[in-house]
Structure 1
């Protein structure tokens, strides 16, 4: 069964996803939508997309689509995903699912009211290496009871008030763009935290340019993470328990080596390289869900996406970071 995809947006993520859809059998990139016909046509020429729409409204009105990937900035997720759901399409929406938990709740309600599939595009959760992590942690218990997660992610982006990463109107800041990954990693392993300690450095525009937090869980574990727009934080991760530790190197999500060090000092390293950019795995999962008639993913459930935003809302409130849409 061929699944026909539409992509709403033509930016960097849209291009990476378009590349990776070409790696999947029975996935057809059938349409693209942009706010400008010229951009839709250029994207269509690049990725051999037959239907090029000069507005998002025209894309969601296309009857020959099964699922739409929403690839616009955080601030537009509610509007654009709602349009697609109400038009009768399944939706894979870029992370975070919405700007805040209230918007996420509205979006989830819309999906359920229209009986349509909706999933947050937390692409790292579907990477091949995550199968290894879950097997080692949960099935083989190679670390024993995991007590600690550390994760860092950062980029070096010069301050520019007009850049989306620093623009409050576009949901800018390190947390929603980068910090969401280690937050989601902690949720995947331990669930929502029972207590949070955090700190942030704000940019001149009022968004968080750097942030860090410690998640505490009543049954013992801690998750310690940081995210930065102004520092190359290394993009590493480490899980540890009494029986050993599991470390991901700088580009672990790109298939770079992981290393397991056991309590006796022995080590094992392995890599899970793959073709493409890594977005094909979440897309393949979406197609499986659609073929099975699901309206929600068992791997990235909507309740978890909502809880992630509740936690991030609380962090932003503590830091005094708010977006114009929230006034």
Structure 2
């Protein structure tokens, strides 16, 4: 959005003329002010940090209602839902006419068979994504792997029979948009890309997602990438490519992806692997410092505890009764460390 348009939007927001605003991370900037923000909806919640989400709370004198949406809740959010600090709605059915994506794990030695499968799908008129990891810490090496992979694909799928697109974060926006558009219009059959295609890409004709070095991706990213296919009526496939050398956590992630398409089940495995994070702070995963309880294994006990806590507060909201003095003292101790973070989902 150019500067003059932004100025008009800011003015309309502050005087209340504008009722609905749709935007990116730019909405959390300090200069974006609302007359009376009543509801904030955060899509793809896992792409925002806790501190970023908290800024929306501070956009109004009384905090707005917050709705967060995601295919795979981050461990901290899942933990908060277990504690009961978040109300949850789960959409666990596919739109009419769509089929569940079939997910398989293949080792690098099976690459020729995988390429044969790609050819078969392209003959049926389908399109294919091939995604490479691009991690900041090893960016140069990953970029080389991406380009090597692209050259290998172009060799195995030569022109004029096949057209191959490439998309990555180092490209200029116009070049990226051009390549994306070619793929959307069906002018290219294969798109080699990094995780820039993780969200916001909708090509119903794309039926195959191949994820290279799948062991290097987190469960949330793997599930998001798989969600790029299966958007049409045809059967879609997700192929997780890895070397034979896998850590135990990687094996669990790959087994989970091949076993289920349920984002909530995937998030629960992620919670077990990474820990629930800091509910009173900004850490979105990690070890929660509970003395005895285990937030995953003891979920039922936590639900019971929350139920009884609610009963006590109904009968004695200020915890003034003698039998609740211990609870009041404990609450006062905890309140010393209280901040906004424990309200942010």
* Normalised TM-score (structure 1): 0.31
**Higher relative CO (CA 8 A, sep ≥ 6), structure 1 or 2?**
2
| Structure holding more helix per residue | 2
* Normalised TM-score (structure 2): 0.30
| Structure holding more strand per residue | 1
